[in-house]
Structure 1
Amino acid sequence: MEIKNFRAIHDKEYILELIEEGEHEMQDFKFSISDSRKIARSISAFANHSGGRLLVGVKDNGNIAGIRSEEEFYMIEQAAEMYCKPAQTVSQRLYCADGKYVLLVEIQPADSRPVMAQDDNHTWQSYYRIADENIVAPKLLTRVWKAKKEEGVLFAYSETESRVLNFVSEKVSVTLENIMLSCHLSKKMAENIVIFLCSMGLLEFKYDAGMWLLTTNATVEQS
């Protein structure tokens, strides 16, 4: 296949090194791009996490198939600019390996989260990268992202907030429902406390065995 409007980088070794890593938290293989809305979910997931890259023209087993046409460039641009909210900027570089073209797409972590994309029902969702999958982030985590985090601000938390923090510390990881039941809180109050403690960096979300859990931030020492 001839790529007329793009100059390819001939660096087979580099592409093979990336493929050797396999799919992981910061890398995904795409055999082809046929739906801008779907690829927007990958951009959302990487942008909401720590960034990452797509290798387009690579099968799930790591074999190089090559991209099919220049249209895949434009579909990725469309995914980032039209089907991500807010619009994202991605970089694309074309590599040639044994006469086949691989498109390397790099996504930077978002300056402002959440970055949203549409699901199959055209509902806007926030996605997050977990291992080699793009997972829909829970609405509570999306609200945490939207909450303004104050850096270097001294604060005091209430007795109820302290009780929640101590409960999570003792249990290592819990669900929101665990907090509601054990601390005798309504869902609304529990959510507001979790958002506050997460925005202060005291609690954080983790994904384990198909569940979103809350845990204390190990890097923060309680005073």
Structure 2
Amino acid sequence: MMKNLRASRGKFFIERLIAEGEHDRQDFKYTISDARKIARSLSAFANHRGGRLLIGVKDNGTVAGVRSEEDIYMIETAAQIYCRPEPSVTFHAYKANDEGAQVIVAEVAPSDIRPIYVQEDDGSQKAYIRVADENILAPELLVRAWRRQNSPQGSLLTLNAVETTVIDTIAASVGGMISSEQLIRTVKASRFTIEEAITKLAAIGTVEFRYHGGEFMLVLKDQSEAIG
């Protein structure tokens, strides 16, 4: 918690981080006012490759400094109350300018067991993924692939005819990518069978999800930059 954090000199370190801008592993937060909204950031980072929140930094990169230790309590609440399972978050305080303004860096570790869900206000549980500088709702098939990775069947590598056809269809698609709905319309099999094939291929790392043009597309791993 902030009251137990000893701020280290970190002006140049924080300047270097801010110079990176907001990206898939970094987000600026001037202040923390909504625990559930922060829970979505924690979920997105933990389901991705990890990331960090720079608390006390405005969206334009200006150091404002942490205004209240409630910001730290709010993040802890987000992790403990609104995330399932709880993601790992560590805090470090830095003196970020000559006036002594403090910036808190909240480091979110990548989760070994995905997905990390957020308990939404309507009672539903949703998983998020970090894409560039946004927290995006993870598609259901990606969530199913994550769950499959946690089970013994997730490592099965033998492919059936439909799974092979799915791979061939993705490879032959324009730009090497295709939406799951396009794939379902193209491959001659039931929706259930094709969705199971996508889930398995994503779980074993053959197929990946890429966010493109406002939707998640399926690509083969060697043609993709992975998002998760």
Q: TM-score, normalised by structure 2?
A: 0.89
Q: Which moved more, 1:124-133 or 1:157-166?
A: 157-166
User: Is 1:24 paired with 2:23?
Assistant: yes
Q: Percentage identity across aligned positions?
A: 44
Trace 1:1-223 onto structure 2 (pairs within 5 A): 4-97=3-96, 98-119=99-120, 121-148=122-149, 155-171=157-173, 172-218=176-222
- What secondary structure is seen at the aligned counterpart in 2 of 1:218? helix
Aligned AA (1:163): T
**Conserved? CA contact 2:84–2:119, under 8 Å:** no
Please, which runs of 5 or more residues in structure 2 have no aligned partner? none
Within 2, Cα distance between the matches of 1:155 and 1:10? 50
Please, which runs of 5 or more residues in structure 1 have no aligned partner? none
Aligned AA (2:117): M
**Conserved? CA contact 2:171–2:220, under 8 Å:** yes
Q: More helix by proportion, 1 or 2?
A: 2
Q: Which moved more, 1:107-116 or 1:180-189?
A: 180-189
- What secondary structure is seen at the aligned counterpart in 2 of 1:94? strand
Give the superposition deviation at 1:156. 2.9
Within 1, Cα distance between the matches of 2:223 and 2:112? 22
Q: Which moved more, 1:115-124 or 1:69-78?
A: 115-124
Within 1, Cα distance between the matches of 2:102 and 2:201? 47
Regions of 4+ moved over 2 Å: 3-6, 118-123, 148-151, 153-156
Q: Which moved more, 1:161-170 or 1:39-48?
A: 161-170
Change (3 A) 1:89 1:4: closer
Give the superposition deviation at 1:148. 2.8
Aligned AA (2:166): V
Q: What is the CA deviation profile of residues 65-87 of structure 1, one whole-angstrom value per residue up to 9, with x for unaligned ones?
A: 11111111111111112211101
Q: TM-score, normalised by structure 1?
A: 0.90
Within 1, Cα distance between the matches of 2:168 and 2:128? 30
